[in-house]
Amino acid sequence: MAYFNDKFKMARLDQSPYLFHFINGYDPSPHETLRKILEEKQLVSSKGYICFSASPLTAITKFFEVKVRSTGQPMYQPWGLGFSRDILVRDFGARNVIYTDGTEGIPDHLEWRTDKLNVDSYDFECLREWRIKGGQFDFSDFPRGDMIVIAPDYNCLNDLVVRFDMEFTPFVNHYTGDIEEDWSEVWKREWKGISVDKLGEDILDDYAVSGSTITQILDEDMVDKLLAESPLSILTPNKNK
């Protein structure tokens, strides 16, 4: 991106380098839904398009607490994914929603990215919605380093971004000369991420969010970090796995 654009975007707290997709508020198991999304590497919708929000994560934490009158649940929950806005626009065709009163003669090829706007009864412009056309978004080819996983707290986040595996290392038995098996437990980072409870005085905008994940290295060994931050999270197995 041109330096001219970066300079002004980073000077505004209402901008984000990401477009976000959050789990619906009525989902009874948002953690498991997000886990399934990460495993399958795809977002699915019956609307004919996939929705994202350009609202900065650092500006909408209270949004996850506001309940919808009809359901008694929040519209979205603090579980989701952030994708690089520039990559979604350039390589996957993401476009911002066009708001209309329904009488403006929108061409058929643009209908998928339009929504109604009535300031008295139906006004969701606050969502700052963007969309990708189609009922499925396969992000298996999306650069993992340009994505972040969002979860409400540290333990929830690590349960999603850290992969547990058994690593096989062959070794030579010096007494017999045979090659024998040696298996060890490993925890490796599969995704970058941030927990909502970490947002605050030290992370004022989403560019700071992006900066805070720079030190997160994909496929890095996470054992020492997990033990240092929260020993129980690594010593206690997740019952849902």
pLDDT digits (tens, 9 = 90+) for 12-32: 778 899 999 999 999 999 999
pTM value is 0.84
How sure is the predictor about 122, in pLDDT bands with cuts at 50, 70 and 90? confident
**In the chain, pLDDT over 70 holds for what percent of residues?**
84
pLDDT digits (tens, 9 = 90+) for 197-211: 989 867 889 999 999
CA-closest candidate to residue 88, choices 125, 128, 131: 131
Amino acid at 58: T
Cα separation, 25 vs 40, whole angstroms: 21
Tokens, residue 158: 């690590």
Cα separation, 73 vs 222, whole angstroms: 35
Long-range contacts of 121-126 (CB under 8 A, 24+ apart): 125/99, 126/55
Domain boundaries, given as residue ranges, for the chain: 1-162+191-241
CA-closest candidate to residue 126, choices 60, 47, 213: 60
